[in-house]
């Protein structure tokens, strides 16, 4: 099942057209998909910026054309001794921080306006430029050669398939991703999710403000809320960045610090 299939199912059950999600999961992956309804869909780009936690498993021994188990074998299969646990841990530790990561050829990245996966399926060579991504933490969960599992907390744009590929290259064995589970997105955890098969459309919805995770909150007055809805700046700030502008616990707008005040960049319907 694809992320698009999940959105379609939610649309049917809640009988609403405006439905979106905050980050595609590969069809073979499992775990959490944060789905937004109605006006909350406009918050997607802010939720996508939140940290995500994944549980990933790679098979060492050979690479594949897709960097996962759905592709064809690429190159020779490893026939030497398996790396030691210490070597695997050290290799994964080198991913922590701000790194340059080459996206998989089978990805939604565009090359001259065409999706990379479209070109790859046509058998055309795809040369994607590395992108800067952030990986906050990596922990080895289990290593039983040829399989290695780890948990990673990552920033937006990070590909776990690329991480599995690069791990195999670093160890000299080759490798590809065989299992992936998204455990959390910002403040939301898969343990608190509603299974799609159990979804009825009558479940209570989460307030849009909760989608914004660690974004700072700034309380505004009734008068300021009215100004925000007119696109006017409000309040005072000596800092930078963005904040959720809130009235009585409800999200009014998201503002960015501009010339000492909060300039609304997104305003929720009254």
Q: What is the pLDDT of residues 194-211, one digit of tens each?
A: 998 888 888 888 999 998
Could you tell me which residue, 92 or 113, shows the higher pLDDT? 92
The pTM (predicted TM-score) of the whole model is: 0.88
Q: How confident is the model at residue 115 (pLDDT cuts 50, 70, 90)?
A: confident
Average pLDDT over residues 176-195: 95
Q: Which residues are catalytic?
A: 26
The per-residue pLDDT for 27 is 82
Cβ-based neighbours of 183, under 8 Å, separated by 6 or more: 31, 32, 53, 54, 55, 151, 189, 190
Average pLDDT over residues 238-250: 90
What CA–CA distances, in Å, run from 18 to 41, 162, 177, 178, 194? 7, 32, 33, 33, 19
Q: Where are the domains of the chain?
A: 1-48+195-206, 51-185, 215-267
Question: With DSSP H G I counted as helix, E B as strand and the rest as coil, what are the percentages for the chain, rounded to 5?
Answer: 25, 35, 40
Average pLDDT over residues 110-131: 74
User: In whole numbers, what is the pLDDT of the chain averaged over residues?
Assistant: 91
The per-residue pLDDT for 89 is 98
Q: If phi over 0 gives left and psi between -120 and 50 gives alpha, with beta otherwise, what is residue 48? A: alpha
Per CATH, the architecture of 215-267 is what? Answer: Roll (2.30)
Would the pLDDT of 3 be above 90?
no
Quote the CA–CA distance of 134 and 153 in Å, as a whole number.
9
CATH superfamily of 51-185: Pseudouridine synthase (3.30.2350.10)
The per-residue pLDDT for 155 is 96
In the chain, the DSSP E strands lie at: 19-21, 30-31, 35-37, 52-60, 63-64, 73-74, 97-101, 110-111, 114-115, 131-144, 147-154, 175-185, 188-189, 217-219, 242-247, 250-258, 261-267
């Amino acid at each position: 099942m694809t992320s698009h299939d999940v959105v379609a199912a939610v649309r049917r059950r809640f009988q609403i057209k405006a439905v979106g999600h905050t980050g595609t999961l590969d069809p073979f992956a499992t775990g959490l998909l944060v789905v937004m309804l109605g006006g909350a869909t406009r918050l997607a780009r802010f939720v996508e910026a939140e940290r995500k936690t994944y549980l990933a498993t790679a098979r060492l021994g050979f690479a594949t054309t897709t960097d996962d188990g759905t592709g064809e074998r690429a190159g020779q299969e490893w026939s030497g001794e398996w790396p030691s646990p210490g070597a695997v841990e050290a290799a994964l530790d080198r991913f922590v921080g701000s790194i340059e990561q080459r996206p998989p050829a089978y990805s939604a990245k565009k090359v001259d306006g065409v999706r990379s996966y479209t070109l790859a399926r046509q058998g055309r060579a795809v040369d994607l430029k590395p992108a800067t991504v952030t990986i906050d933490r990596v922990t080895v969960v289990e290593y039983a050669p040829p399989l290695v599992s780890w948990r990673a907390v990552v920033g937006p744009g990070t590909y776990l398939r690329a991480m599995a590929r690069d791990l195999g290259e670093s160890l000299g064995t080759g490798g590809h991703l065989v299992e992936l589970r998204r455990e959390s997105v910002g403040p939301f955890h898969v343990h608190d999710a509603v299974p799609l098969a159990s979804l009825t459309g009558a479940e209570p919805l989460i307030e849009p403000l909760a989608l914004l995770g660690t974004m700072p909150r700034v309380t505004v007055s009734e008068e300021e809320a009215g100004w925000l809805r007119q696109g006017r700046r409000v309040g005072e700030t000596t800092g930078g960045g963005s904040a959720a502008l809130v009235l009585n616990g409800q999200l009014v707008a998201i503002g960015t610090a501009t010339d000492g005040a909060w300039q609304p960049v997104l305003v929720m319907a009254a």
